[in-house]
Amino acid sequence: MNYWLMKSEPSVFSIDDLANKPNQIYCWDGVRNYQARNMMRDDMKNGDLAFFYHSNCAEPAIVGIMQVVKESYPDFSAFDENDKYFDPKSNPNNPRWFMVDLKFIRKFSRPITLKELKIVPQLADLALVRRGNRLSIMPVAATQWDFILNLETD
DNA sequence: GCCAACGTTGGC
DNA sequence: GCCAACGTTGGC
């Protein structure tokens, strides 16, 4: 089992959008970064858990948990020229971009803020708090995962 | 293959 | 809105 962190701008898609339709399956389309793509395509497995992170907003924070329910397949939003994620260099015969499907697991009782994550020494190696990190998908070590979960009830 | 210009991300 | 830190593009 692997653990992940996935960013979303809450003004576009938030944890409440997830929580309001708890049984819906979501395809994580629109990833257009090779490192993030490679992790989704090669390493994300059914049953893996992912933190849902609010980025580019007033209070950047981890706000809940999702689970991978379908492993990688071509991101068809890249094929549709009317889609905002259209990429003419990707096509069904040779797809460049991939996505996974996810479902809602739970919303945290409180946001675990970036500010809070930055000050704990145990998370110094978490990619999220490393300088200049802009990856929209990143791995989380099991020890980091457990530590962050414990922060929720501190 | 180098690298300047440009575009994007995302915290603040 | 600012800007640092990237990633991408394209001329050479």
C-alpha–C-alpha distance, residues A106 and A109, integer Å: 9
C-alpha–C-alpha distance, residues A21 and A66, integer Å: 13
Q: Which of residues 129-148 of A touch strand B (CB under 7 A)?
A: 134-136
Asked if strand B comes closer than 7 Å to A106 Cβ, the answer is no
| pLDDT of the residue at A113 | 97
Predicted confidence (pLDDT) at residue A103 exceeds the cutoff of 90: yes
**Strand B nucleotides where any atom sits below 7 Å of a protein CB:** 8-12
Average pLDDT of every residue of chain A = 95
Predicted confidence (pLDDT) at residue A83 exceeds the cutoff of 90: no
**Strand C nucleotides where any atom sits below 7 Å of a protein CB:** 4-8
| pLDDT of the residue at A7 | 97
C-alpha–C-alpha distance, residues A137 and A123, integer Å: 17
Distance A30 CA to B10 C1' (A): 17
We report the CATH number of the domain holding residue A109 as 3.10.590.10
CA of residue A17 relative to chain centroid, distance: 14
CA dihedral A31, A34, A40, A42 (to 10 degrees): 160
Distance A93 CA to B9 C1' (A): 30
| pLDDT of the residue at A84 | 86
Query: Which structural domain, as residue segments, surrounds residue A129?
Result: 3-151
C-alpha–C-alpha distance, residues A112 and A63, integer Å: 6
Radius of gyration of chain A (CA): 15
What confidence category does residue A1 fall into, taking pLDDT thresholds of 50, 70 and 90? Answer: very high
pLDDT in tens, A17-65: 999 999 999 999 999 999 999 999 999 999 999 999 999 999 999 999 9
> How many domains does chain A fold into?
1
Question: Model's pTM, two decimal places?
Answer: 0.94
Residue A104 pairs in a beta bridge with A66
